[in-house]
Structure 1
Amino acid sequence: MDVLTQIRKPVEREMKDFESLFGITLQHQNPLLMIALRHVLSRKGKLMRPILTLLAAKKYGEINDSVLHAAVSLEMLHTASLVHDDVVDESGVRRGQSSVNALLDNKAAVLVGDYLLSTALKHAAMAGDLRVVDLVARLGQTLSDGELQQLSNVKSDEISENQYFNVIRRKTASLFAVCAEVGALLSGASEDEIRRLGEFGTYVGICFQIRDDVFDYYDAEVGKPTGNDMKEGKLTLPVVHAVLQPGAETWHETALKVRAGRATEEEISALVDFTKQSGGIEYARRKMDEFREQAIGLIGSDGNEAVGEALRLYLDFVLKRVS
């Protein structure tokens, strides 16, 4: 049994219900929209976020229709944000497949993203709890805030870990946090249990993004060729650590050029090599291990024991995933 199957085991039946509901939701009479929605459905990936929502719900209670609608809402919001991000980044590839804007065009992709966002809010309302609507709406604000923060950083001369973590907490970790919070909330968990699982989700999301950033230096299988982040002007944790070391002032200037979109291919390639040689990758992995230890402590021994073990496996899967 592979690790992902083990993780899903406590909620396998409910995940099938989720996938059925998610698939039905991605149906429409409009031919152009249907092309885009089928494309979105074909690249749904491992469904890590809805798995987290369902596990969080089952840790302290049962998974009902409200939880399923909330999970669909959050996955729709996540998908909408990716569609919009690809337009903003002018990216033609997402996880090794064509992005929606590459399949259609930017105008159509924005409208598809808007449709998915509206569908997300519809399913949040169908969860039957105004707290879910509030959490999903505020999450949408947070995701947009993170994207805007990343854009504003382009004009800054500052390069810092604090700046990096401020962005990924908004753009990535916030979604995992809300997935866990909503699942716990709808299962009747206490305020402290909801808080702990939300913090767990935050650490999972931070690790997820750092792991994604490390992929960019070695692995093209996830649809991100080596150095692609820098080509898009993104300075991730490995390079941030590398250029902040004593004696790296020249590389610091190169990193600013990268972020401003003024660096040549040769400069980007040289900065990638410098990052690797300066221990940037190893540092990022150490930071993931630190966040893992904090996350493990939040799972606790209370609630459903099988789900607690699945959450530990979930965390380790995020840290060790190869795609």
Structure 2
Amino acid sequence: MKADLKQIQSPIKSEMAEFELRFKDLMKSRVKLLDHIMNYIVRRKGKQMRPMFVFLSAGVCGDINDSTYRGAALIELLHTATLVHDDVVDDANYRRGFFSVNALWKNKIAVLVGDFLLSRGLLLSIDNDDFHLLKIVSNAVKEMAEGELLQIAKARKLDITEEVYYKIIRQKTASLMASCCSVGASSTASSPEIIEKMREFGEKVGMAFQIKDDLFDYGEEEIGKPVGIDIKEKKMTLPLIFALQKADWLEKRKIIHLIRNKSENKKAVNEVISFVKQSGGLEYAKEVMNRFYDEAMTILQDFPDSEYKESLSSLVTYSIQRKK
């Protein structure tokens, strides 16, 4: 049975409410313009799945405490900073259906806002001697930047193998999910073995999550990101990589030509989408996604039964079955 987010959140309902208040407080600034922008960012927050992963992972491993709140806030601050900077890099005017910071206040201010969020997160950890949490999250931010740059470099040549694709999504997406779960475990003073096991669990979830996101590009769901956006941006995702591996030399050359030279052409994008679907690319990607999902669930089974574990399991299922 598929649970909704409110049901999943029930064991940490009071913690999430408290976290929201603490996070709003952290975002305050004495600079009026910055305070105004921070209020805008807080108002348009998403589903808050990352803090949920932190709190539920902490509950699975031990007792939720002040360090858990700071760990969740650190991840949200640093992640929000990367999103603000990403929108500048991508020249994106929208984020989750709202105007992006750079669309409303221009690039110069957006970059400075990202810097403020980054430094706010660093200071939160340093002021509270949370160096163990800061190390986990800083490593994730480094991995995310490397993953993005690797993807950009490969997009120029369109020569991504399946192995390179896994490396990119492990760095770009899975590293952040892994840090959510390891921060949760680490905040409860768990053993290095338990923290590592939670990190592995989060990484598997992140891999499955990204493949799910890649599948949205092929219009399999009615709601989601715009169809073909990855193809337009020359991003090589798993369904396309698999389809190209199966194709003969002539067909492969034709598809790569379309992506390289006609990615702005709707007809060409639709041709690439049809090619991927007919080659079984979507089925293959779903198989791989489900394999990562199963591996994550197997790791979670090693932890003692609790309401936190049950909700964490449901949250993973929700993230893989989501419609957007």
TM-score, normalised by the number of residues in structure 2: 0.92
**2:227 corresponds to 1:215:** no
1:178 is aligned to: 179
> What's the CA shift for 1:233?
2.1
More deviation in 151-160 or 101-110? 151-160
Residues 1:140 and 1:301: Cα distance change in structure 2 (over 3 Å):
closer
Q: Distance in 2 between matches of 1:270 and 1:66?
A: 51
Q: Is the contact made by 2:54 and 2:183 (CA closer than 8 Å) also made in structure 1?
A: yes
Give the paired residue count.
321
1:168 is aligned to: 169
For structure 2, list consecutive stretches of 5 or more residues without a partner in the other structure: none
Q: Distance in 2 between matches of 1:146 and 1:248?
A: 29
1:20 is aligned to: 21
> What SS is found at the alignment partner of 2:313?
helix
Letter paired with 2:263 = A
2:150 is aligned to: 149
Q: Distance in 2 between matches of 1:261 and 1:51?
A: 42
> What's the CA shift for 1:59?
1.0
Q: Distance in 2 between matches of 1:256 and 1:62?
A: 55
Residues 1:126 and 1:62: Cα distance change in structure 2 (over 3 Å):
farther
Q: Distance in 1 between matches of 2:249 and 2:29?
A: 54
1:263 is aligned to: 263
Q: Distance in 2 between matches of 1:231 and 1:175?
A: 25
More deviation in 261-270 or 130-139? 261-270
> What's the CA shift for 1:108?
1.6
> What's the CA shift for 1:44?
1.2
Where do residues 16-55 of structure 1 align in structure 2 (5 Å cutoff)?
A: 16-55=17-56
1:7 is aligned to: 8
Q: Distance in 1 between matches of 2:222 and 2:38?
A: 25
Q: Distance in 2 between matches of 1:64 and 1:307?
A: 15
For structure 1, list consecutive stretches of 5 or more residues without a partner in the other structure: none
Q: Distance in 1 between matches of 2:282 and 2:51?
A: 29
> What's the CA shift for 1:203?
0.8
**2:60 corresponds to 1:59:** yes
1:266-308 CA distance string (max 9 Å, x none): 3222112222232222221111111111111111343352111
1:99-157 CA distance string (max 9 Å, x none): 22222212221111111111121223245332112222222211111111111113335
Q: Distance in 1 between matches of 2:316 and 2:87?
A: 27
Letter paired with 2:321 = K
2:313 is aligned to: 312
Q: Identity of paired residues, percent?
A: 38
Q: Is the contact made by 1:232 and 1:261 (CA closer than 8 Å) also made in structure 2?
A: no
Q: Distance in 2 between matches of 1:242 and 1:147?
A: 23
Q: Distance in 1 between matches of 2:149 and 2:136?
A: 20
1:290 is aligned to: 291
Letter paired with 1:319 = I
Q: Distance in 2 between matches of 1:308 and 1:286?
A: 25
Q: RMSD of the TM alignment (CA)?
A: 2.1
> What's the CA shift for 1:52?
0.6
Letter paired with 2:153 = S
Where do residues 209-248 of structure 1 align in structure 2 (5 Å cutoff)?
A: 209-218=210-219, 219=221, 221-222=223-224, 224-247=225-248
